[in-house]
Structure 1
Amino acid sequence: MKSVARIAVVTGAGSGIGRSVALELVQTGQGAAAGSRVGPKWSVALAGRHNETLEETAALIRAARPDAELLCVPTDVTDPEAVAALFSAVHERYGRLDLLFNNAGTFGPGGVRFEDLEYSAWRKVVDTNLNGAFLCAQAAFRLMKEQTPQGGRIINNGSISAHTPRPNSAPYTATKHALTGLTKSLSLDGRPYSIACGQIDIGNAATDMTSAMQSGVLQANGELSPEPVMDVSDVARTVRHMAELPLEANVQFATVLATNMPFIGRG
């Protein structure tokens, strides 16, 4: 299979799922002799709030693949000007965009009852998880529509909370339900331009954000219980599969979760 360079933007690339997906993408397309995965070669723009964590991600990637083509762009996805600068930098460096992994997000305040939730806390989650996803998707959509050859793929990071909420999670759950609507709308609006959009709903991947899962989290019955987690690399491989499909095919929704976590039947 001949390698063809593709260009990806990964938001929230400074840690967790974003870091793992970026690493997974750049390990493709090096050839079987190097022990790499079969697939196209990816160049990746790493976007996140903190340059130091982006550089840490870049260092991990270059340790695994010294010839990786990377671009680190510190970006606050809640800021329209910062998002515009990110995609302008990508266009200037690479001339096109094949994939946006819309991953940046926050859980918001933990353990706060709905009636005690501050509006500022609600707004922070909405601005990051929903407005940030909109801004990045819109900028990617514009590039993909205007480039030659036309088209590309947007993968939104949803959550199993897009289906079933946890206790005291109204801001996070509401934004993840809204992301599902955004995914469906983008899928429809992108059809004339060969822009595919899908969503991956993730449950209990082992990252810093989910470290509390193994010590105990609040359940619907009011008890605190530990929950199993899965390796974040299992998520990354699923994203790569979605990303490398031809644009004539699309994984509309994928759910990847730790097998024994309380999702089916919770609530």
Structure 2
Amino acid sequence: MKTEMRYTNQVAVITGAADGIGKAIAQRIAAEGASIALWDIKEEKLKALESEWQAKGIPVKATVVDISDEKAVEKAFRDTIEAFGRLDILVNSAGIVGPTQTKITDYPTAAFDEIYQVNLRGSFLTSKYALTWMEKGGKGRILLIASIAGKEGNPNMVGYSATKAGVIGLVKALGKEYAATGITVNGLAPAVIRTPMNADTAPEQLEYMASKIPMQRLGTVEEVAAMACWICSDEASFTTGFIYDLSGGRATY
């Protein structure tokens, strides 16, 4: 596959970048010329990835960031600007699943609060501070990773479904809010993607979700990265506030 160079001289912040979807997106955008700020809470994996990419000559800076912590997010953006001089792209891929195969009546409120902190509050905070810097440049791309669960709802996963629905609402609101600024805000709603995060999902829940996919297979992180890379490029200049499906035919609307 021929790799284009759509991101030469651009700077991208990718959250949840230590593995899974975030890592794949970061790798694809870096391959197309961008300097990359890798954010995650998994320090060991993050630092190992930074060292590996630096050895390959990729301009990269890894930062341990809890995206639910406002001060940490604000500081991480300042540090990114100091390191690279600009901000062009934010891909917020960090997220957690929380309890599965759990009725709402048995669902721990503390678990719901934890999922909200990462999935929805984290999306709000990263968008808020990315936009603060992008407004100064008059251009930018924000991509928030949502989920098909946020569109359709997965039973027995109320925390994940509700917070990802919140991410979709955030995308739609911000897309309209910034539509005339040169900054686009879009979302991506995958069905089940084969990632390390699936290890935390009950087999019965995973089987249920996979059974809803007409293609009868899981998606790959490479497929997510390919679509994300287009959404964040200058080619996708006339779309904002939109949720792109990547669902193997599960969602067709």
Change (3 A) 1:213 1:178: closer
1:83 aligns with 2:73: yes
The structure that is helix-richer by fraction is 2
Single out whichever of 190-199 and 77-86 deviates more from structure 2.
Answer: 190-199
The AA in structure 2 aligned to 1:5 is N
Which residue of the partner structure matches residue 124 of structure 1?
114
1:58 aligns with 2:16: no
Q: What RMSD over aligned residues (CA atoms) do the two structures have, in Å?
A: 2.3
- Equivalent pair of 1:155/1:198 in contact (CA under 8 Å): yes
1:106-154 residue CA offsets vs partner (Å, 9 max, x unmatched): 111122211011111010000100001100000000000113xx11010
Which residue of the partner structure matches residue 96 of structure 1?
86
Offset of residue 230 of structure 1: 2.1
Offset of residue 70 of structure 1: 0.3
- Equivalent pair of 2:100/2:202 in contact (CA under 8 Å): no
- Equivalent pair of 1:160/1:201 in contact (CA under 8 Å): yes
Offset of residue 184 of structure 1: 1.0
Which residue of the partner structure matches residue 223 of structure 1?
none
Change (3 A) 1:215 1:61: farther
Equivalent of 1:229 in 218, 224, 233: 218
Equivalent of 1:248 in 225, 230, 237: 237
Offset of residue 264 of structure 1: 5.1
Which residue of the partner structure matches residue 196 of structure 1?
184
1:202-260 residue CA offsets vs partner (Å, 9 max, x unmatched): 1111101124789543639xxxxxx731221111111001111347322622111245x
Which residue of the partner structure matches residue 145 of structure 2?
157
Counterpart CA distance in 2 for 1:193 and 1:17 is 28
Offset of residue 163 of structure 1: 1.3
- Equivalent pair of 1:152/1:247 in contact (CA under 8 Å): no
Offset of residue 167 of structure 1: 1.7
SS in structure 2 of the partner of residue 56 of structure 1? helix
* Structure 2: tracts of 5 or more residues without a match: 210-215
Q: How many residues align?
A: 240
Could you say which structure has the greater relative contact order, defined with CA pairs below 8 angstroms and 6 or more residues apart?
Answer: 2
Counterpart CA distance in 2 for 1:94 and 1:212 is 35
Offset of residue 183 of structure 1: 0.4
Offset of residue 56 of structure 1: 3.0
Which residue of the partner structure matches residue 6 of structure 1?
10
Change (3 A) 1:142 1:2: closer
1:178-216 residue CA offsets vs partner (Å, 9 max, x unmatched): 111110111111123211011111111110112478954
Change (3 A) 1:53 1:172: same
SS in structure 1 of the partner of residue 152 of structure 2? coil
Q: Percent identity?
A: 26
Change (3 A) 1:134 1:212: closer
The AA in structure 1 aligned to 2:39 is A
The AA in structure 1 aligned to 2:121 is N
1:60-106 residue CA offsets vs partner (Å, 9 max, x unmatched): 5457xx11000101000011111011101111112211100011111
Which residue of the partner structure matches residue 34 of structure 1?
none
Counterpart CA distance in 2 for 1:87 and 1:129 is 19
Change (3 A) 1:166 1:195: same
